[in-house]
């Protein structure tokens, strides 16, 4: 592979750091993070050793869903700054060798978007079919049984058109009609706007939600004993009671993704990562969307974003992907802005959180695929416990108290423990509070501490980059008699053995017959050792060696 080809494939095996802009760094004292704050903190991000930043939405928006309800795809919302601020931030990132990936939310818009304002004004205007409109049933009820992920029916009545419009999320987030070629063309023009501006890629929000069934057929009930299920949603949400055959993951989506890729291929070294929320069908969808080299570069699913941190679960997920997706690529993550922080999900006690945080990072960094880190996980931040009156997430407010929503993982980044709001803002009040237990894990307290979670992240990412087998080498699992995760990563003449004990008890792993441990490697926080042909591991421990 030539140097140019390697540059084009920068995303393969990349480490992507997700920044949630409103919670990263405030520079103007309004209690909300902004683009200038990201620019200010770029040296910190670069110090982690990541390859790219994924920016959650910063576009103009009424912010009903924290920016995932876009009212202008080609401008920056004033709370975050200006287009000039974005250009400055991107130039500074590129100067540090960091790529910029932006969150493209094109399955729906805000209801104040000019497209929707025109579309709802009549049934005959030029944009009348730009959204999914349908007549009511004879009794006035919604066209079918589709549900909204954020609660209630997936349809909202509009009195002017005297029709329902579809919304997979809030009623103020109407779904675009991708069956319209004009809609596709206009959306791709907004993508081109950012490509021309120099962005390196796109994270495609809810990428399998673009099309719905033309016939608007009812979804059947979700049968737990079948292979196809609903979204990875809390069990308090009736959305998971349906098998979502018709309101998402339609076959027409593949052709649109080919159009999207054809546009990107007109530019150098650009990439896409798609978010696939499709229940038990996720891997089939990833295979369809990433195979063939003419659609998405990679996808990520919700498979590792649940509470299960066991060897069996991780192996099943990775093994299933490798068997299902022959020529595609995956991006693994344990946390993001939509789920409880994984330290709280995986650790059984507060005392073991730092150990679990380090072990989880070691596992993630050695899996085959690209990886995504969510801001603050490198500090070992736990999920924040917030009072109802502090919530800002409409999802949590709707399902409280059975489901508290997503605000607990979106609290501001703690930079300096001794300052108000841990140095995030000089405002009297930040948009979400910074809990004491998060402030106690701030960046300034962990800098230079070789025992800290932050130090471990930096060290582990350096270890990953030092071994090309970890970037795109093959991965082969080894059967074990215990709940251990054992596999090799191989590229060229280098074969690395990894063994992880995710249990709370010491464990032994017998080296397979004929496997010789040539050299134990100093993988960060890996204390396991070889004695008499066996790898001895402590609780929540790891081992790494070159083998032949």
Residues 409 and 498 in one domain: no
**Mean pLDDT of all residues in the chain?**
94
Asked, for residue 145, whether it belongs to a domain, the answer is no
Give the count of domains, the chain: 2
Q: What is the pLDDT, as a whole number, of residue 10? A: 96
Residues 360 and 448 in one domain: yes
Residue 400 has pLDDT above 90, yes or no: yes
Residues 234-282 have pLDDT tens digits of 678 899 899 999 999 999 999 999 999 999 999 999 999 999 988 878 8
Tell me how long the chain is: 548
Residue 323 has pLDDT above 70, yes or no: yes
Write phi, then psi, for 312 (nearest 5 degrees). Answer: -65, -45
Measured distance CA(37)–CA(23) in Å, rounded: 10
Measured distance CA(495)–CA(406) in Å, rounded: 40
Asked, for residue 124, whether it belongs to a domain, the answer is no
Residues 410 and 455 in one domain: yes
What DSSP state is assigned to residue 239?
G
Q: What share of the chain is helix, strand, coil (3-state, %, to 5)?
A: 30, 20, 50
Residues 281 and 430 in one domain: yes
Q: What is the pLDDT, as a whole number, of residue 227? A: 42
Distant-in-sequence, close-in-space partners of 381: CB < 8 Å, separation ≥ 6: 341, 343, 414, 438, 441
pTM score above 0.85? yes
Residues 408 and 520 in one domain: no
Among the candidates 464, 482, 512, a domain finishes at 464
Percentage of the chain lying above the pLDDT 70 cut: 97
> Looking at residues 84-107, what average pLDDT do you find?
98
Which CATH number characterizes residue 412's domain? 3.20.20.80
Among the candidates 422, 446, 464, a domain finishes at 464
Residues 482 and 448 in one domain: no
Q: What is the pLDDT, as a whole number, of residue 224? A: 66
Residues 322 and 414 in one domain: yes
Asked, for residue 92, whether it belongs to a domain, the answer is yes
Range of the domain at 497: 470-547
Token digits of residue 79 = 């709370």
Residues 209 and 288 in one domain: yes
Measured distance CA(498)–CA(362) in Å, rounded: 10
Residues 456 and 441 in one domain: yes
Q: What is the pLDDT, as a whole number, of residue 225? A: 52
CA neighbor of 384 nearest in space, from 419, 341, 425? 341
Q: What is the pLDDT, as a whole number, of residue 30? A: 98
Residue 163 has pLDDT above 80, yes or no: yes
The DSSP string of 151-193 is SSBSEEEETTTTEEEE-SS-TTSPBB-TTSHHHHHHHHHHHHH
Q: What is the pLDDT, as a whole number, of residue 254? A: 97
Q: What is the pLDDT, as a whole number, of residue 6? A: 57
Measured distance CA(175)–CA(137) in Å, rounded: 20
Asked, for residue 175, whether it belongs to a domain, the answer is no
Asked, for residue 32, whether it belongs to a domain, the answer is yes
Which residues does the annotation mark as catalytic?
Answer: 205, 275
The lowest-confidence range among 57-61, 94-98, 337-341, 509-513 is 509-513
Asked, for residue 81, whether it belongs to a domain, the answer is yes
CA neighbor of 259 nearest in space, from 204, 327, 216, 302? 204
Residue 228 has pLDDT above 70, yes or no: no
Residues 10-42 have pLDDT tens digits of 999 999 999 999 999 999 999 999 999 999 999
């Amino acid at each position: 592979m030539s140097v140019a080809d390697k540059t084009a494939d920068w995303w393969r095996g990349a480490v992507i750091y997700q920044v949630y802009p409103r919670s990263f760094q405030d520079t103007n004292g309004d209690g909300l993070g902004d683009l200038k704050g990201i620019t200010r903190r770029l040296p910190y991000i670069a110090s982690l050793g990541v390859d790219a930043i994924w920016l959650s939405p910063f576009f103009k928006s009424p912010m009903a869903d924290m920016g995932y309800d876009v009212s202008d795809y080609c401008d920056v919302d004033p709370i975050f700054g200006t287009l000039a601020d974005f250009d400055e931030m991107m130039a500074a990132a590129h100067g540090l060798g960091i790529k910029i990936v932006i969150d493209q939310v094109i399955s729906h818009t805000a209801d104040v978007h000019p497209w929707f304002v025109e579309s709802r004004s009549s049934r005959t205007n030029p944009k009348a079919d730009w959204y999914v409109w349908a007549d009511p049933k004879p009794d006035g009820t919604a066209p079918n049984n589709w549900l909204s992920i954020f609660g209630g029916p997936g349809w909202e009545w509009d009195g002017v058109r005297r029709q329902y419009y579809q919304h997979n999320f809030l009623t103020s987030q109407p779904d675009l009609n991708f069956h319209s070629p004009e809609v596709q063309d206009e959306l791709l023009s907004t993508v081109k706007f950012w490509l021309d501006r120099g962005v390196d890629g796109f994270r495609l929000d809810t990428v399998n939600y673009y099309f719905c069934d033309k016939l608007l057929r009812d979804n059947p009930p979700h049968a737990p004993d079948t292979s196809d299920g609903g979204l990875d949603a809390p069990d308090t949400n009736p959305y998971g009671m349906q098998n979502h055959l018709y309101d998402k993951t339609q076959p027409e989506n593949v052709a649109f993704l080919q159009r999207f890729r054809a546009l990107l291929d007109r530019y150098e070294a650009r990439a896409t990562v798609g978010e696939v929320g499709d229940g038990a069908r996720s891997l089939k969808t990833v295979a369809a969307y990433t195979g063939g080299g003419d659609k998405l570069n990679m996808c990520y699913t919700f498979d590792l974003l649940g509470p299960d941190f066991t060897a069996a679960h991780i192996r099943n997920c990775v093994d299933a992907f490798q068997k299902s997706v022959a020529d595609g690529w995956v991006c693994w993550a344990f946390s993001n802005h939509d789920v409880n922080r994984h330290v709280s999900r995986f650790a059984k006690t507060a005392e073991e959180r730092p150990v679990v945080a380090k072990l989880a990072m070691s596992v993630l960094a050695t899996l085959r695929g690209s990886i995504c880190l969510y801001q603050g996980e490198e500090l070992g931040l736990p999920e924040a416990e917030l009072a109802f009156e502090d919530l800002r997430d409409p999802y949590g407010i709707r399902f409280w108290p059975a489901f508290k929503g997503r605000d607990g993982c979106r609290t501001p980044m703690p930079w300096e423990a001794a300052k108000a709001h841990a140095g995030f803002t000089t405002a009297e009040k930040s948009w979400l509070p910074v809990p004491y237990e998060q402030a106690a894990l701030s960046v300034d307290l962990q800098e230079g501490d070789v025992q800290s979670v932050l130090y471990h992240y930096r060290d582990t990412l350096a270890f990953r980059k030092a071994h090309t087998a970890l970037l795109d080498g093959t991965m082969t699992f080894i059967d074990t008699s215990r709940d251990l995760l054992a596999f090799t990563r191989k590229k060229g003449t280098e074969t690395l053995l990894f063994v992880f004990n995710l249990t709370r008890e010491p464990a032994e792993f017998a080296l397979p017959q004929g496997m010789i441990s040539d050299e134990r490697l100093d993988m960060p926080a890996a204390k396991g050792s070889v004695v008499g042909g066996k790898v001895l591991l402590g609780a929540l421990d790891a081992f790494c060696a070159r083998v032949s």
